[in-house]
Amino acid sequence: MQYRYRGNDPRHPDNVRPRRATQSETPLIYFSGLMPGRYLAHWPALVVADDPAALCFTVAIDDPQPASVGYKGLLGDEARRLYVTRLARQRIHQAAFRERVLTAYERACAMCRLRHEELLDAAHILPDSHPLGEPLVTNGLSLCKLHHAAFDANIVGVRPDFVLQVRDDVLAEVDGPMLAHGLQGLQGTRMAVPKKDLLRPDREFLATRYDVFRRAG
């Protein structure tokens, strides 16, 4: 990961400190910006290269487990650092996607309006494996854990007009209040969507995903 210099002067104090960390192999905490005021912390982070010509440092994320036994020799384990850094990048992208989606939906489940943020996920309309399954707000839904799982399992579908449909066999089941209110009660209701049109779910994505739901039923 690249960390830009402060300004253009390699001798600026904020640029000298990371350079010293490179020389001393001192582990740091690296904060990745997700949105203004929201960050994801990574530890231990190592400044492994300094490029004054490009005005940036190269930062690698290491595994905290080996860190407990000291850092001598860890910088030579390049394969592990590359792997852990790649995982860190994935976490950054996932966290940034979640943050953007939850912000667009005002930190509530689009299906049931639950507002406990610790129980909310950013669900993909089209999955990562789909050619159009990019981590964009228009390809995301803010869903609680229950409704995220139900959406992924094709128990609940979303029509392109934002109306929710519950799979026929689930509608016919007789069970306790969770089924009745948590799932069956969604039938025919309209999902909440962001106020800004440009942040609302892509209707073509919903149509594609709804076809999958219909075939599953």
CB contact at 8 A, 170 and 186: no
Q: Quote the pLDDT of residue 37.
A: 77
Q: Quote the pLDDT of residue 80.
A: 63
CB contact at 8 A, 28 and 45: yes
Q: Quote the pLDDT of residue 69.
A: 46
Domain ranges of the chain: 2-103, 108-216
Q: Quote the pLDDT of residue 149.
A: 97
Q: Quote the pLDDT of residue 136.
A: 94
Dmax over CA atoms of the chain, in Å, equals: 71
How confident is the chain (217 residues) per 10-residue block, as mean pLDDT? 85 87 79 75 79 85 60 55 64 82 97 97 94 93 98 98 97 92 97 96 97 92
CB contact at 8 A, 148 and 119: no
Q: Quote the pLDDT of residue 58.
A: 82
